[in-house]
Every structure is written in structure tokens, then in C-alpha cells.
């Protein structure tokens, strides 16, 4: 309406969407919302069709993520740390309850997944746990409002980008951290199934983009880029995981692990 559309005239809305300087994905979303509005009113329209555009996500340097996080409030820094280490969606992070965190084992349980994903559990760093412990326990959930967090993050991020004279920081959104973690995991493991489990994707096709992105950014990996270990006992499994090895699977009766050199 602010841009001049008449919500009671579908052709007016259609004409506005056509000239709006936004991507087709956003236009598809707006069109779907408007159709729901029309249905509520008892009306209908011929929804315009938009071709889906798959964009290459912006992947910042880890130093830029850490630079940004260091300048944020403790609350926002905690959110960013969780997203960076787990690749969960911001909506999933803001639904985390205090009871979803095992402080002793450094585990975070995602019990309220989005987009019909499965639930998940992630091991995080001592730094992440330390940040969570600094937050006040004022309710069932660790974070009160997703909307408030998104707004304040945008404000603080833009100020830091200007203060640090790094416009690339303005390209970092919460979902960027999911892209970053997935790409780094793809680079580290070269295994789409491991990345799929990390992201809790139902369709492996959605995961493959990160394998291709990692290869584009770092070049195709070879077996010579990895150290491979075999674990025969529970203690050996724990030790390999603690020093950064990734579980590959049981091959010919052996529990196989690998880590990028």
C-alpha cells in the first residue's frame, strides 16, 4: 500500500510486483501472501508466475564473522556463535529452551525445527556455552523474540561495518552463518551426507550446492588432502572426535574417521 498498490485490485498488485526491484523468490513469497489475503476476503486472482532464481550465497571470511561477533552485544554474539557452530536457522535458535542445553556435555538440542526438518543435537564449544551462561534466565526460552533480535542485529551490524570500514560485514545475515558452516563442513569432509545431517535437509539435492560451492572456493579435494584413522574402541572414537576427526562410516567392519590436513 505504501508503494501505491490497491490491495482490493489484484491487477494493481500484479503491476507493482512486476516493477519492484527485488528477486523472483521474494516476488513469489509476496504473491503467496497476497493470495492468502484475497482468499480471506473471498476473492481470487491469477497469480503471476516467477522463475526461481538460485543465487550463490555470500560466504564471508571466518575472521570477518569473528570481527562482527566481537562487536555485538552479548545477546547477539550468543545467537551468532550458536549459528556459526551449528548451522541451525535463526528461527530454530530463538526457540531453544534452557532445558534444551546440556551445559556439562556442551550439547544443544533443536527440538523445534523449521521447514519440516528433523530435530537435531549439536556439540558446541566452551566459548559458546560460556556466552549462553552470561544471559539472564527470564523465561522458558533463552531468547525472547526473533523479530527483535533480527532488528537489533541489523542495526549493530551496519554500525560496525561503518566503524570498521568493512562494507562486507553488511552482507552478513543470520542465514549467512548457516551457509558458511555448511560450506566449511563440505570442504572439511567432502561428504554430502555429513553436510546433509548437519543441515537436517530431507533432500540431498539441497545439500549438493555446498559441495559445489566448496570446490569452487577451495578447489576439488583429493584423498591426499585427508588423514584417515580407524577406531576399534569407544575410547578411540571419542578421542578422534575430540581432535576434529569426522565419522565416515563402517567400512568392511572398521569404524572410519577422516580429517582434512
Q: What is the pLDDT along the chain (261 residues), one digit of tens a residue?
A: 888 999 999 999 999 999 988 888 888 889 999 999 999 999 888 888 888 777 789 999 999 999 999 999 999 999 999 999 999 999 999 999 999 999 999 999 999 999 889 999 999 999 999 999 999 999 999 998 999 999 999 999 999 999 999 999 999 999 999 999 999 988 888 788 889 999 999 888 888 889 888 888 877 655 566 777 888 888 888 888 888 888 877 765 678 787 877
Residues 98 and 151 in one domain: yes
Q: Which residue, among 63, 64, 87, 79, has the nearest Cα to 151 in the 3D structure?
A: 79
Instruction: Please check whether residue 200 lies inside any domain of the structure.
Output: no
Residues 153 and 227 in one domain: no
Residues 133 and 45 in one domain: no
Residues 43 and 71 in one domain: no
Q: What's residue 250's pLDDT?
A: 72
SS3 content of the chain, % helix, strand, coil (to 5): 55, 10, 35
Residues 83 and 162 in one domain: yes
Q: Which residue, among 193, 211, 202, 258, has the nearest Cα to 230 in the 3D structure?
A: 258
Query: What dihedral do alpha carbons 85, 91, 92, 97 form, nearest 10°?
Result: 110
Other CB atoms within a 10 A radius of the CB of residue 141 amount to 15
Domain, as residue range, for 236: 222-260
Other CB atoms within a 10 A radius of the CB of residue 63 amount to 8
Other CB atoms within a 10 A radius of the CB of residue 16 amount to 15
C-alpha cell at 22: 527485488
E strand map for 26-170? 101-102, 107-110, 120-123
CATH code, 104:
1.10.443.10
> Which position has the grid cell 526438518?
117
**Cβ pair 160, 69 in contact under 8 A:** no
Q: What's residue 259's pLDDT?
A: 80
> Got the DSSP string for 76-96?
HHHHHHHHHHH---HHHHTT-
C-alpha cell at 140: 522458558
- pTM here? 0.73
Instruction: Please check whether residue 183 lies inside any domain of the structure.
Output: yes
Instruction: Please check whether residue 197 lies inside any domain of the structure.
Output: no
Residues 48 and 79 in one domain: no
Amino acid at each position: 500500500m505504501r508503494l501505491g498498490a490497491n490491495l482490493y485490485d489484484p491487477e494493481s498488485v500484479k503491476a507493482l510486483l512486476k516493477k519492484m526491484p527485488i528477486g523472483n523468490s521474494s516476488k513469489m513469497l509476496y504473491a503467496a501472501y497476497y493470495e492468502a489475503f484475497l482468499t480471506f476476503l473471498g476473492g481470487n486472482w491469477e497469480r503471476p508466475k516467477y522463475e526461481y532464481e538460485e543465487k550463490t550465497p555470500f560466504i564471508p571470511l571466518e575472521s570477518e564473522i569473528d570481527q562482527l561477533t566481537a562487536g555485538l552485544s552479548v545477546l547477539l554474539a550468543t545467537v551468532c556463535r550458536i549459528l556459526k557452530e551449528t548451522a541451525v536457522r535463526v528461527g530454530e535458535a530463538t526457540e531453544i529452551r534452557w532445558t534444551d542445553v546440556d551445559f556439562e556435555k556442551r550439547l544443544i538440542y533443536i527440538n523445534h525445527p523449521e521447514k519440516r526438518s528433523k530435530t537435531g543435537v549439536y556439540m558446541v564449544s566452551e566459548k559458546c556455552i560460556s556466552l549462553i551462561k552470561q544471559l539472564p534466565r527470564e523465561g522458558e526460552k533463552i531468547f525472547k523474540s526473533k523479530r527483535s533480535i533480527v532488528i537489533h542485529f541489523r542495526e549493530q551490524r551496519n554500525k560496525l561495518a561503518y566503524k570498521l570500514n568493512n562494507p562486507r560485514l553488511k552482507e552478513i545475515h543470520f542465514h549467512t552463518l548457516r551457509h558458511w558452516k555448511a560450506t566449511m563442513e563440505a570442504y572439511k569432509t567432502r561428504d554430502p551426507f555429513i553436510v546433509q545431517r548437519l543441515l537436517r535437509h530431507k533432500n540431498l539435492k539441497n545439500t549438493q550446492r555446498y559441495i559445489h560451492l566448496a570446490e569452487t572456493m577451495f578447489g576439488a579435494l583429493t584423498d591426499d588432502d585427508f588423514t584417515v584413522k580407524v577406531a576399534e574402541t569407544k575410547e578411540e572414537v571419542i578421542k578422534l572426535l575430540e581432535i576434529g576427526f569426522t565419522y565416515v562410516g563402517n567400512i568392511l567392519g572398521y569404524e572410519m574417521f577422516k580429517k582434512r590436513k
